[in-house]
Structure 1
Amino acid sequence: MPDSSEANIATADALTLLLHNQHAIGAAIEEISKWLSENGVGSGAANAMAAMETLDTNAQGITDAIMRLRQS
């Protein structure tokens, strides 16, 4: 069984990959939001921006967790 340090590194690495995915999803939502706004679908664009805010908030929490794991 790996020690807690190895487990923390593996967990931090997995969270880092998830964070990269979250940033990619955010970029895609931003592009969709821009397209919606340019094509007169303001309510859809507003909903997409609300989703972006959630992604940003959660990304900070994930980043904090990664940093704690990497320091332990």
Structure 2
Amino acid sequence: MPTEYSLPDTLDRIYTNQLALEAAIMELTLLIEQQGHTEVGENVRGALYAIGENAGHIKQGIAKLVLQHRGD
């Protein structure tokens, strides 16, 4: 299987997409809050917090898969 389509690489790209979506959602949240919708902003920030909390775990899991994949 080509390296660029390996499981670790694919998961890393999904992770990168997750970070990009998180940033885009934060930009929209800031815009919504500027329009006075603070409750909506708080709700979104709660969801983004969960994403942020999981990001480190996901990245560590990907790193472990990369090491295992290189050992194959």
TM-score (norm. length: structure 1): 0.81
CA contact under 8 A between 1:33 and 1:45: conserved in structure 2?
Answer: yes
Gaps of 5+ in 2: none
AA at the equivalent of 1:27 = A
- 1:38 Cα shift? 0.5
**Alignment match, 1:60:** 56
Q: Once superposed, which parts of structure 1, at least 4 consecutive aligned residues long, lie more than 3 Å away?
A: none
- Gapped regions of structure 1 (runs ≥ 5): none
Q: Which deviations, in whole Å up to 9, do the C-alpha atoms of 1:28-67 show, x marking residues without a partner?
A: 1101110111010000100111111111122212101111
Alignment check: 8 A CA contact 1:15 1:62 kept: no
Task: Name 1:49's counterpart in structure 2.
Answer: 45
Q: Distance in 1 between matches of 2:7 and 2:61?
A: 10
Say whether 1:20 aligns with 2:16.
yes
- The percentage of counterpart residues that share the same residue type is 26
Alpha-carbon RMSD = 2.0
Query: CA–CA distance in 2 between the matches of 1:11 and 1:60?
Result: 18
| TM-score between both structures, scaled by the size of structure 2 | 0.81
